[in-house]
């Protein structure tokens, strides 16, 4: 139930028009009702840059568990899926502030720009190997053959997983995805099975790292466990978070970014002429079509948002993708311009929960697209229109991206 005032209009994000053109709908919502109500989700929605930016930094709004689909199940189903829920509640972005700081302290050293730079040669190697594998055919599905396996390899390396297990990790990560969308019961059961298998697998490696530590995230977690700083359950849950957070999002940025380049041949030509523009191109990809469409928050006390008071305990979606196309902040917001200057986009969030892997994701996307353009001067799309799949509650990702080269 909403108890908002008359100035807050209601919107349906799930009409065929909204699913086909989420940016179009969000432009309308931003202009008509900066604080909007989504009855199907029992949640508010913010779309203006200024409001989203302020809400991301607002300590009166806790990070919300994005696995809301689990809360809509019957009591018996909730009971059945309790293990997966309990594990997700231990993920660093979903914990109370004290636990959040504890995990941040432990993990941040793996994601500093210097550490990320040390991984750069490995990212080049992985990209080269993936392209070698498809080179003889002169065609590939960028999603399947490059964008998915690359970040999976990188994050698995960072965590300390053996190379031979990486395909399995990708499959598990895929199975978990429906928990953060609108998965049906069957998908949620599969997600739980895969997550529990992943836990068992991680526990085995954790035991090895306890005996013989290495320079990887799991070893750090095990050292922290020995000091009583984290439990094994927390360590395992947060490794799953890293695998998942570091995988899907980066893969989607690589694929969405390439579609933007195909759709803007002038910009692609410019980038081919001046590869030094790649870091700015990656920022513009994040702004125009960043993989994190929204993040969720819950009000811990009554908060004024976009001029209306939202009571405590309400779910609020912050539409990063709408903020990033706010015409008040970005001139010609729908134009993809790799030389754009000015305000920072919010594609990695902002404030307390700012993306831990931002530097890593930037570097991977930069290297991957740079090498792809260098090695494939004849790169062309092999599709009529991109095959977008809607992602809940709003946004899209590519199921496949066939190209020839
Ligand atoms: C293009 C790729 C990526 C995008 C668009 C992205 C986006 C985001 C966003 C928007 C948040 C903030 C969530 C919130 O405010 O509630 C976030 C948090 C987070 N991201 Fe990323 N992410 C990406 C890649 C990565 C990678 C590569 C990793 C790690 C390997 C990662 C790990 C995390 C973690 C651990 C958090 C939680 C941070 C915290 O709670 O302090 N992300 N990400």
Question: pLDDT of 111-169, one tens digit each?
Answer: 999 989 999 999 999 999 999 999 999 999 999 999 999 999 999 888 888 878 888 88
Report DSSP state, residue 143. Answer: I
Long-range contacts of 133-137 (CB under 8 A, 24+ apart): 135/375
pLDDT exceeds cutoff 60 at 1: no
pLDDT exceeds cutoff 70 at 333: yes
246 vs 80, 169, 188, 291, 400, CA distance in Å? 28, 12, 21, 12, 19
Residue 306 structural domain: 16-404
Q: What is the mean pLDDT of the chain?
A: 92
Q: Of ligand 1's atoms, which has the minimum distance to the CA of residue 290? A: 5
Pocket of ligand 1 contains residue 348 by CB under 6 Å: yes
Most confident of the ranges 99-103, 170-174, 243-247, 319-323 = 319-323
**What pLDDT was estimated at residue 43?**
93
pLDDT exceeds cutoff 60 at 308: yes
Pocket of ligand 1 contains residue 357 by CB under 6 Å: yes
- Quick check: is 7 in a domain? no
Q: Tell me whether strands 315-319 and 43-46 are parallel, antiparallel or unpaired.
A: parallel
CATH number of the domain bearing residue 102:
1.10.630.10
Average pLDDT for 304-329: 96
Which of 248, 355, 362 gets mutated to test ligand 1 (max ligand atoms within 8 A of its CB)? 355
- Quick check: is 330 in a domain? yes
From the CA of 288, how far away is ligand 1's center (Å)? 17
Q: What are phi and psi of 327, to 5 degrees?
A: -65, -15
At residue 76 the predicted structure's pLDDT band, cuts being 50, 70 and 90, is very high
Q: What angle do CA 244, 26, 344 make, to 5 degrees?
A: 65
Report DSSP state, residue 15. Answer: S
From the CA of 361, how far away is ligand 1's center (Å)? 9
**Structure confidence by residue, pLDDT tens digits, 255-290:** 999 999 999 999 999 999 999 999 999 999 999 999
Pocket of ligand 1 contains residue 64 by CB under 6 Å: no
At residue 4 the predicted structure's pLDDT band, cuts being 50, 70 and 90, is low
From the CA of 65, how far away is ligand 1's center (Å)? 14
- Tell me the two tokens of residue 347: 């594609």
Q: Tell me whether strands 35-38 and 308-310 are parallel, antiparallel or unpaired.
A: unpaired
pLDDT exceeds cutoff 70 at 102: yes
- Tell me the two tokens of residue 281: 């191109």
At residue 3 the predicted structure's pLDDT band, cuts being 50, 70 and 90, is low
- Quick check: is 3 in a domain? no
The percentage of residues in the chain with a pLDDT greater than 70, rounded to a whole number, is: 98
Q: What are phi and psi of 286, to 5 degrees?
A: -65, -40
Report DSSP state, residue 95. Answer: S
- Quick check: is 302 in a domain? yes
pLDDT exceeds cutoff 90 at 96: no
**Rounded CA separation 203/78 (Å):** 25
pLDDT exceeds cutoff 80 at 95: no
The percentage of residues in the chain with a pLDDT greater than 90, rounded to a whole number, is: 73
Name the least confident of 20-34, 56-70, 198-212, 296-310: 56-70
Pocket of ligand 1 contains residue 349 by CB under 6 Å: yes
Pocket of ligand 1 contains residue 253 by CB under 6 Å: yes
Average pLDDT for 341-368: 95
**Structure confidence by residue, pLDDT tens digits, 214-258:** 989 999 999 999 999 999 999 999 999 998 888 889 999 999 999
Average pLDDT for 299-318: 95
Average pLDDT for 1-6: 51
- Quick check: is 345 in a domain? yes
H helices present in 227-319, as ranges? 232-245, 248-263, 265-273, 278-289
Q: Whose CA is nearest to atom 20 of ligand 1?
A: 355
- Quick check: is 4 in a domain? no
Residue that the structure tokens 């200057």 belong to: 341
Average pLDDT for 75-103: 88
Pocket of ligand 1 contains residue 46 by CB under 6 Å: no
Which of 357, 359, 394 gets mutated to test ligand 1 (max ligand atoms within 8 A of its CB)? 357
268 vs 260, 362, 370, 390, 402, CA distance in Å? 9, 18, 11, 26, 18
- Quick check: is 374 in a domain? yes
Name the least confident of 96-100, 369-373, 386-390: 96-100
pLDDT exceeds cutoff 50 at 350: yes
Pocket of ligand 1 contains residue 102 by CB under 6 Å: no
**What pLDDT was estimated at residue 2?**
47
- Quick check: is 5 in a domain? no
At residue 213 the predicted structure's pLDDT band, cuts being 50, 70 and 90, is very high
Give the chain's domain count.
Answer: 1
**Rounded CA separation 59/103 (Å):** 18
């Amino acid at each position: 139930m909403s108890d908002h005032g008359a100035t807050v209009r209601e919107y349906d994000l799930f009409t065929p028009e909204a699913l086909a053109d989420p940016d179009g709908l969000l432009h309308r919502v931003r202009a008509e009702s900066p604080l909007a109500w989504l009855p199907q989700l029992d949640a508010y929605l913010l779309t203006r840059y200024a409001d989203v930016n302020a809400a991301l930094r607002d300590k009166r709004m806790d990070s919300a568990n994005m696995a809301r689909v689990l809360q809509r199940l019957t009591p018996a189903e909730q009971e059945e899926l309790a293990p997966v829920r309990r594990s997700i509640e231990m993920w660093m972005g979903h914990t109370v502030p004290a636990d959040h700081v504890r995990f941040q302290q432990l993990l941040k050293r793996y994601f500093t720009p210097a550490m990320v730079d040390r991984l750069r040669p490995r990212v080049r190697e992985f990209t080269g190997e993936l392209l070698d594998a498809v080179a003889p055919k002169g065609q590939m599905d960028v999603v399947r053959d490059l964008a998915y396996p690359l970040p999976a390899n990188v994050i698995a390396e960072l965590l300390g997983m053996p190379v031979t297990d990486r395909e399995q990790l990708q499959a598990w990560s895929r199975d978990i995805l429906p928990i953060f969308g609108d998965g049906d019961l069957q998908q949620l059961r599969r997600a739980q099975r895969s997550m529990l298998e992943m836990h068992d697998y991680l526990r085995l490696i954790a035991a090895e790292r306890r005996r013989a530590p290495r320079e990887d995230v799991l070893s750090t977690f095990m050292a922290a466990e020995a000091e009583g700083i984290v439990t094994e359950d927390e360590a395992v849950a947060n490794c799953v978070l890293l695998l998942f957070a570091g995988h899907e999002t980066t893969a989607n940025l690589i694929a969405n970014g390439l579609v933007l380049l195909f759709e803007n041949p002038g910009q692609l030509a410019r980038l081919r002429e001046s590869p030094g523009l790649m870091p700015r191109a990656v920022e513009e990809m994040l702004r125009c079509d960043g993989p994190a469409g929204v993040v969720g928050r819950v009000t811990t006390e009554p908060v004024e948002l976009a001029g209306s008071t939202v009571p405590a305990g309400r779910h609020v979606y912050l539409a990063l993708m709408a903020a990033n196309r706010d015409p008040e902040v970005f001139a010609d917001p729908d134009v993809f311009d790799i030389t754009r200057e000015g305000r920072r986009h919010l594609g990695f969030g902002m404030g307390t929960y700012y993306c831990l892997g931002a530097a890593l994701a930037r570097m991977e996307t930069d290297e991957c697209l740079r090498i792809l353009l260098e090695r494939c001067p004849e790169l062309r799309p092999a599709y009529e229109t991109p095959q977008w799949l809607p992602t809940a509650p709003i946004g899209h990702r590519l199921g496949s991206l066939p190209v020839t080269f």
